[in-house]
Structure 1
């Protein structure tokens, strides 16, 4: 259910991402419709009309904006980011330079900012992670340190060892034959996510701009083992299920989760997975459901310690008064996910009239 037009116009001016996929604006003077997050100059209030879907806008004879591409399911990113990301996947062993970017017609500083915005790392760091992941895979398969070093584009053996040590927490010779966690970026309509898995299941799934992500990666490396970028059957299945969830066609995740935590944390995480799609629970309700009615604050801490977003749905936990509480992936994403799941189950999010409920409504 759409909010009132004044609220949506305020969201349009603010480029509020929590309406992504749920509200679109048609501009009468141009005949074009856009996402509310479109970077184009904002039209006057009297010249806009709002729609709940792309289909509604097109049925009203509005054409999709070529800048924000509202009919694309994925959130639009810089065309340069998409192009370079595809180039890295096609040439993971290539050692990219500033001159390479200039030769392709890109400004290196602009590319650096664009990748940091999308993935939380620079283009050089993004490319290096894939290159080193390929090198570590070589070592895991029994290749020599020298071959892996050359594949990664390092002329200095010490530089290669230092890079590998930072990535997987061990020197190349000792990395050979060791079980290593595999990481990959997953693109979603509400931002890139970092996935880390092993052969048993998912160890981490977090949005790239989560403030605690570096700490979580270090904790995972300490608790479980070294990490490198690469591919695996578990990653492929995770990517498929995440894509199906965001397209509105997956109601329940079927991939195993193997994140480590205390016995209490594990109990809370399992309780989170019991919250039905399209529903929410308060910390107090979860505390009572696990037989610890006196521990809502401990439940909140365990909820915040969850490192597998969406699959272990910590976004479904709200305050006792119905308000949205802190979410590491950012509050606007929490609102987006709750609305997405309500739509998947055919529920309408009611319009709000009091401040507590207003935080739940889009």
Structure 2
């Protein structure tokens, strides 16, 4: 069985999505035009070819291997939102020395156009590059204060020349004063690349707290709830859990990982935590209905409540809410979009058919 072909939606569905430029299918498949030798995103604004002249691929690598060239208009090589080399090199420099206060002159000296960098960060992080590095430094200051460092030292180590400027920036970023940070847990976030588009991962010292597609409509509300209800202070950065989930996600999308081991930290209501724990027990490559989950919890009449808790799951893929379907077998809702849900189910089904999966365990730290 060809694993890549198994990842594709039905042919008629792809033709429709291509002709209608359906944005829900970004990253789900790519269109290649036999008469021009060019492959595109399904949403490309170029004149649509005749369906009989098109073939479809699950990944850009497959299209390239088949001899197709990437479209210069829709740039399918950027479909997974992979950071370009110049951004990756800059981010490595930031991580190597987060205290550096980058100026436009320094950026230009590295051959980076400041306006282009600003646009890229606004698109992919919802903040400018300078806002990103300020937030990165403040996150380090927060961690230092929680470990006993004085506020004065944290301020000056973060590059602030006055305590008042540091306090104002800290209050704006974390919605609290530096002196009250003993109750605020740092929640570090980073952006991850996947074949289905960029995701954001957030983790604290105990484990992964959030993993969502960046275009999920409820993402802003989820982050605000983590800040206001659960007391997290959100800042860009890295820790062991974020590095682990990046590695495990890569293996998952290659069909080589069926069991996530990254520790999880999932604050929520008692009922939601029960539902999420049951979701984590649904085996790789299988599906369950809302009614089946409710019955497992001893609450057979709670299908609707299970559906709501399922929709409030903040850790996509790892806590596999995509494996929950309607009683009639329909895919029903999914925060990342139904085409992505269908892709994930096809990926797992194909991997199961090509190799025997490992036993599914609840990830370490799962409620």
Q: Do they superpose with TM above 0.5?
A: yes
Tell me the CA shift for residue 272 of structure 1. Answer: 0.7
Tell me which moved more, 302-311 or 61-70: 61-70
Whether the 8 Å contact between 2:28 and 2:339 is mirrored in structure 1 is: no
1:48-87 aligned within 5 A: 48-51=54-57, 57=63, 60-63=66-69, 74-76=80-82, 85-86=91-92
Give 5+ residue unaligned stretches, structure 1.
348-362
CA distance in 2, matches of 1:60, 1:181: 43
TM-score, with structure 1 as normaliser = 0.77
How many residue pairs match? The answer is 345
Deviations 1:149-191 (A, max 9, x none): 3443434432321322343443224437975333333332323
Q: Residue 49 of structure 1: SS of its match in structure 2?
A: strand
Task: Tell me if 1:323 matches 2:330.
Answer: yes
CA distance in 2, matches of 1:16, 1:81: 29
2:201 alignment partner in structure 1: 195
> Which of 43, 49, 58 is residue 44 of structure 1 equivalent to?
49
CA distance in 2, matches of 1:58, 1:113: 28
Whether the 8 Å contact between 1:75 and 1:190 is mirrored in structure 2 is: no
Task: Tell me if 1:311 matches 2:318.
Answer: yes
Tell me the CA shift for residue 78 of structure 1. Answer: 6.4
Whether the 8 Å contact between 1:78 and 1:114 is mirrored in structure 2 is: no
Task: Tell me if 1:126 matches 2:139.
Answer: no
Would the alpha carbon gap of residues 13 and 98 (structure 1) be closer, same or farther in structure 2, given more than 3 Å must change? farther
CA distance in 2, matches of 1:209, 1:20: 11
Deviations 1:164-222 (A, max 9, x none): 23434432244379753333333323233332323322222223333333332333233
Task: Tell me if 1:255 matches 2:262.
Answer: yes
CA distance in 2, matches of 1:217, 1:86: 26
1:274 alignment partner in structure 2: 281
Deviations 1:266-292 (A, max 9, x none): 211111112222222221221122211
Whether the 8 Å contact between 1:18 and 1:336 is mirrored in structure 2 is: no
Tell me the CA shift for residue 297 of structure 1. Answer: 1.1
1:171 alignment partner in structure 2: 177
Task: Tell me if 1:184 matches 2:190.
Answer: yes
Q: Larger relative contact order (C-alpha < 8 A, sep ≥ 6)?
A: 2
Q: Residue 311 of structure 2: SS of its match in structure 1?
A: helix
CA distance in 2, matches of 1:117, 1:14: 24
2:18 alignment partner in structure 1: 12
Tell me the CA shift for residue 100 of structure 1. Answer: 6.6
2:352 alignment partner in structure 1: 345
2:357 alignment partner in structure 1: none
Task: Tell me if 1:152 matches 2:162.
Answer: no
1:200-239 aligned within 5 A: 200-221=206-227, 222-239=229-246
CA distance in 2, matches of 1:195, 1:52: 24
1:135 alignment partner in structure 2: 141
CA distance in 2, matches of 1:186, 1:59: 25
CA distance in 2, matches of 1:16, 1:77: 24
Tell me which moved more, 64-73 or 182-191: 64-73
1:21-36 aligned within 5 A: 23-36=29-42
Whether the 8 Å contact between 1:282 and 1:320 is mirrored in structure 2 is: yes
Whether the 8 Å contact between 2:184 and 2:231 is mirrored in structure 1 is: no
Would the alpha carbon gap of residues 176 and 294 (structure 1) be closer, same or farther in structure 2, given more than 3 Å must change? closer
Q: Residue 29 of structure 1: SS of its match in structure 2?
A: coil
Whether the 8 Å contact between 1:118 and 1:191 is mirrored in structure 2 is: no
Whether the 8 Å contact between 1:142 and 1:176 is mirrored in structure 2 is: no
Deviations 1:125-167 (A, max 9, x none): 4333223223333434544434433443434432321322343
Whether the 8 Å contact between 1:94 and 1:131 is mirrored in structure 2 is: no
Give 5+ residue unaligned stretches, structure 2.
1-5, 355-367
Q: Residue 191 of structure 1: SS of its match in structure 2?
A: coil
Tell me which moved more, 235-244 or 119-128: 119-128
CA distance in 2, matches of 1:262, 1:90: 39
TM-score, with structure 2 as normaliser = 0.76
